[in-house]
């Protein structure tokens, strides 16, 4: 059944894209070179961390978290200070990375919570160009425990380790899967293919890194695309005891900030301090993972032909809603000076770390304020590989190769977000749409009929609302935002969760 459905989806895709990419033959292969392409296909290692906040690395200003390997990567490549996830939560953000589209085009979240089989993913594009493709970690783009629904191995990856419908694990120590109780009291069965067997005490971040290193060693003589999507640093917050002890001691030595540990945010609270030693230990293990991968590439002589991209799927978990955890569990981190965190359309929820190392192209140790969105990875990766773009697939992605080459300050001037399924009971966020045009950002809290306008160059913490003092700019951006919602058919939810009317923007 899956095979026949997949073949049908492929024919549908060919029909839809025939006009724009007539040269694309999914039954054969993509044209493998374009003018100006490198002589040898570069390798790719794409590292996605779950819920890693914008300031959760020492190279982004953290004084608690220690990330020497990631800092070294930043010194060897380009560090982006204004990179964004396409959505402040997991599924829509990951959908955008794989498709090059705004999540609102498909109605995720709200109408859908998956990656449809008919999408031609960036992994499929690379696979058809001759790449060996590998996925390890969190997928979260399939319908829950549906054996008919495609996992990574059905959407462009030769190998899948751990990727399923699961958005988190039962434990970061083996066994990783099993029955999990959600915040709302429901029970979920977490299945993680390829991770069913393990050793007591084994740590998941290490296990996924082991599999990644093994794949790289086995495919050293062929171009590869590695997508390492760690379940860390998502809850449950669990770290190796020596690392936890280390950060407990470090916190005792650090000076105490003068500001309060929490401030009000909407119906809930925002964490203002980075003071969780367990979360710090999880980040330490992520840094160990990056170190091992970089060392493996050096040992195999692949360092100079491997592009490394390191980023996060959304902002750090720093806010608490009306019922979240009922005060029993510590929040993960703080995104301060950015406002709020995961789930929110303020900068703390959508701005993420991004480091790109492209040997021979990027200038080592470069910082940039170029605006980059999660949807931009698809066309950027194709262009880095010297492959033809597929505009009708990555509709909303803009290649930032000119930024990496030092030719342009930014490739993107406009970005949109649409979050129609707020979780006031969990992270405290509410339904909102956003437009950013250069330095100005407008937030439409459409359930409340409230607009907020900020100048991110002058006020990255979004504390000074300019909507009343700059009515012309406010109205200009609002018109553009409404036009975009209508163009993409954005799902406009109203009312409490579970009682929302499913309707598109008009």
pLDDT at 180 over 90: no
Q: How far is it, in rounded angstroms, from Cα 393 to Cα 16?
A: 10
Percent of the chain whose predicted confidence (pLDDT) is above 90: 78
What pLDDT does residue 38 have? 53
pLDDT 10s digits, 237-278: 999 999 999 999 999 999 998 999 999 999 899 999 999 999
pLDDT at 499 over 80: no
Q: How far is it, in rounded angstroms, from Cα 42 to Cα 305?
A: 5
pLDDT 10s digits, 481-495: 999 999 999 999 765
Q: Quick one: average pLDDT of 412-428?
A: 93
What pLDDT does residue 24 have? 37
pLDDT at 204 over 90: yes
pLDDT at 101 over 90: yes
Q: 79 near 366, Cβ under 8 Å? A: yes
pLDDT 10s digits, 355-374: 999 999 999 999 999 999 99
373 or 34: which carries more pLDDT confidence?
Answer: 373
Tokens of 459: 């006020």
Which residue has tokens 């997508």? 227
Using pLDDT thresholds of 50, 70 and 90, give the confidence band for residue 4.
very low
Min mean pLDDT across 20-34, 128-142, 478-492 is at: 20-34
Buried-exposed string 364-395: b where 16+ CB fall within 10 A, e elsewhere? eebebebbbbbbbbbbbbbbbbbbbbbeebbe
Give the residues across from 310 on adjacent strands. Answer: 47, 355
Domain positions in the chain are: 43-236+255-271+283-412, 431-506
DSSP label of 283: H
187 or 441: which carries more pLDDT confidence?
Answer: 441
Using pLDDT thresholds of 50, 70 and 90, give the confidence band for residue 148.
low
Give the distance between the most distant pair of CA atoms in the chain: 63
Q: How far is it, in rounded angstroms, from Cα 451 to Cα 475?
A: 10
What pLDDT does residue 18 have? 37
Q: How far is it, in rounded angstroms, from Cα 439 to Cα 433?
A: 17
Q: Quick one: average pLDDT of 309-329?
A: 83
What pLDDT does residue 478 have? 99
What pLDDT does residue 346 have? 99
DSSP label of 307: E
Q: Which of 287, 308, 162, 158 is nearest to 219 (CA)?
A: 158
Q: 340 near 270, Cβ under 8 Å? A: yes
What pLDDT does residue 211 have? 99
321 or 37: which carries more pLDDT confidence?
Answer: 321
Using pLDDT thresholds of 50, 70 and 90, give the confidence band for residue 179.
confident
Q: How far is it, in rounded angstroms, from Cα 24 to Cα 236?
A: 43
Q: How far is it, in rounded angstroms, from Cα 121 to Cα 97?
A: 9
Q: Which of 2, 14, 8 is nearest to 120 (CA)?
A: 14
Q: Which of 447, 290, 474, 380 is nearest to 97 (CA)?
A: 380
What Rg do the C-alpha atoms of the chain give, in angstroms? 22
What pLDDT does residue 471 have? 99
Q: Quick one: average pLDDT of 94-106?
A: 98
What pLDDT does residue 426 have? 87
Q: 187 near 268, Cβ under 8 Å? A: no
What pLDDT does residue 111 have? 87
What pLDDT does residue 452 have? 99
What's the CATH architecture for 43-236+255-271+283-412? 3-Layer(aba) Sandwich (3.40)
Q: How far is it, in rounded angstroms, from Cα 193 to Cα 475?
A: 50
Distances (CA, A) of 274 to 63, 70, 244, 251, 254: 9, 18, 14, 10, 11
Q: Which of 290, 305, 307, 291 is nearest to 404 (CA)?
A: 307
The domain 431-506: what is its CATH number? Answer: 3.30.1120.10
pLDDT at 46 over 70: yes
User: Can you give 23-66 as a three-state secondary structure string?
Assistant: CCCCCCCCCCCCCCCCCCCCEEEEEEECCCCCCCCHHHCCCCCC
* Numbers of helices and strands, H then E, in the chain: 11, 17
Using pLDDT thresholds of 50, 70 and 90, give the confidence band for residue 88.
very high
What pLDDT does residue 29 have? 38
Q: 312 near 84, Cβ under 8 Å? A: no
Tokens of 262: 């929490």
Q: Which of 171, 188, 172 is nearest to 180 (CA)?
A: 188
Average pLDDT, the chain: 90
pLDDT at 197 over 60: yes
What pLDDT does residue 145 have? 58
Min mean pLDDT across 400-404, 419-423, 478-482, 486-490 is at: 419-423
Q: 137 near 229, Cβ under 8 Å? A: yes
pLDDT at 14 over 80: no
């Amino acid at each position: 059944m899956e095979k026949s459905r997949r073949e049908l989806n492929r024919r549908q895709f060919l029909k839809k894209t025939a006009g724009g990419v007539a040269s694309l033959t999914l039954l054969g292969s993509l044209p493998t070179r374009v003018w100006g392409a490198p002589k040898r296909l570069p390798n790719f290692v794409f590292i996605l961390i779950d819920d890693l906040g914008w300031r959760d690395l020492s190279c982004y200003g953290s004084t608690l978290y220690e990330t020497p390997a990631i800092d070294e990567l930043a010194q060897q490549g380009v560090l982006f200070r204004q990179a964004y996830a396409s959505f402040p939560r997991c599924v829509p953000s990951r959908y955008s990375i794989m498709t090059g589209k705004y999540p609102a085009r498909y109605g995720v979240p709200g109408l859908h919570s998956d990656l449809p089989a008919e999408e031609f993913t960036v992994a499929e594009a690379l696979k058809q160009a001759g790449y060996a493709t590998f996925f390890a970690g969190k997928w979260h783009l399939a319908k829950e425990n549906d054996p008919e629904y495609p996992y990574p191995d059905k959407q462009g990856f030769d190998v899948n380790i751990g990727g399923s419908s699961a958005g988190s694990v039962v434990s970061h120590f083996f066994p990783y899967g099993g029955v999990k109780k959600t915040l709302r009291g429901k029970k979920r069965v977490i299945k993680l293919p390829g991770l069913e067997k393990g050793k007591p005490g084994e740590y998941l971040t290490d296990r996924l890194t082991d599999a990644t290193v093994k794949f790289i060693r086995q495919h050293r003589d062929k171009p590869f695309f590695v997508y390492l999507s760690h379940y860390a640093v998502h809850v449950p917050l669990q770290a190796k005891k020596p690392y936890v002890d280390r950060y407990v001691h470090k916190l005792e030595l650090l000076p105490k900030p003068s500001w309060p540990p929490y401030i009000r945010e909407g119906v809930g609270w925002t964490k203002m301090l980075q003071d969780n030693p367990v979360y710090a230990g999880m980040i330490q293990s992520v840094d160990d993972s990056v170190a091992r991968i970089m060392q493996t590439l050096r040992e195999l002589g692949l360092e100079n032909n491997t592009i490394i991209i390191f980023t996060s799927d959304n902002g750090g978990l720093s806010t608490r809603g009306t019922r979240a955890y009922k005060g029993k569990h510590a929040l993960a981190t703080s995104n301060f000076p950015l406002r709020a965190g995961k789930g929110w359309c303020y900068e703390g929820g959508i701005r993420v770390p991004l480091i790109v190392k492209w040997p021979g192209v990027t200038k080592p140790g470069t910082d940039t304020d170029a605006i980059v969105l999660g949807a931009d990875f698809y066309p950027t990766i194709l262009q880095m590989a010297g492959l033809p773009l597929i505009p009708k697939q990555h509709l909303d992605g803009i290649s930032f190769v000119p930024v990496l080459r030092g030719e342009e300050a930014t490739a993107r001037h406009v970005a949109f977000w649409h979050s129609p399924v707020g979780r006031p009971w969990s992270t405290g966020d509410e339904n909102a749409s956003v437009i950013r045009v250069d330095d100005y950002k407008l937030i439409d809290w459409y359930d409340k009929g409230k607009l907020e306008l900020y100048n991110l160059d002058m006020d990255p913490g979004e504390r000074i609302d300019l909507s009343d003092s700059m009515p012309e700019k406010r109205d200009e951006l609002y018109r553009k935002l409404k036009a975009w919602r209508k163009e993409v058919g954005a799902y406009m939810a109203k009312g409490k969760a579970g009682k929302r009317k499913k309707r598109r923007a008009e």
